Amino acid sequence: MEQAQLFTIEQPAPPDNSPQIPGLTLTPNYITPAEESDLLAALEGGPWENDWRRRIQQFGVGYSDSGGKPTWVRDFPAWLKPLAERVGQDAAMERFPENCVINEYIPPLGIAPHRDYPAFGPIIACVSLGSDIILDFVTPDPSQRIPVFVPARSLWIITGPARSKWLHGIAPRLTDTIAGERRKRGRRVSITFRTAKNPAIVPPTHRAY
């Protein structure tokens, strides 16, 4: 089945389906509106890359669209380090985060169902800014699809089966149906943290716990 076909039927999402996916944790209101505004302002002037279908920024261990060997791209900026430390601790990462990818989603952009890059560690943690979104979790066969409502300013963490077995993605569309109500999407920015599976590629100057 083509990846796009996984999203051909839009289904209403209840406020919280996250307990149905083993290894997924969703924390609403993880940051305040003021913190959200500060983060959006800080990242605007960052090193945006336009080689992807969406704009991204990479810090720490980076990766290529061809899945090449991970390399150290650039150090974390000062404004990002406090959030990285907080998220790394709250997500119980084994070390201070060694990768951060910032993604910008302008409607109707989405991302096909996927598992995260295997060169990263067992825990993925993401802070969601801007627009609310529906994040779809799909079984590999794909016999099951569970839509999860991810509100702005929330933190979602995947580990265990949610990281290693389930695929996750965002359907490309202009609206989401949330609790039976159709809502227009706005600009969404995600800040995702990971550790490297091989910490030897991390410079010794990078802050660690």
90-107: pLDDT as tens digits: 999 999 999 999 999 999
Is the confidence at residue 7, as pLDDT, over 60?
no
Q: Is 64 within a domain? A: yes
Q: Is 82 within a domain? A: yes
* 18: CATH: 2.60.120.590
Number of domains in the chain: 1
Is the confidence at residue 55, as pLDDT, over 60?
yes
- The range of the structural domain enclosing residue 124 comes to 10-197
**Dist. CA 15–CA 35, nearest whole Å:** 23
pLDDT value of position 209: 53
Is the confidence at residue 188, as pLDDT, over 80?
yes
Query: What is the pLDDT averaged over residues 37-57?
Result: 93
Q: Is 207 within a domain? A: no
Is the confidence at residue 5, as pLDDT, over 50?
no
138-173: pLDDT as tens digits: 998 878 999 999 999 999 999 999 999 999 999 999
Give the three-class secondary structure for 116.
Answer: coil
**Dist. CA 1–CA 125, nearest whole Å:** 28
Q: Is 202 within a domain? A: no
Q: Is 203 within a domain? A: no
Is the confidence at residue 29, as pLDDT, over 60?
yes
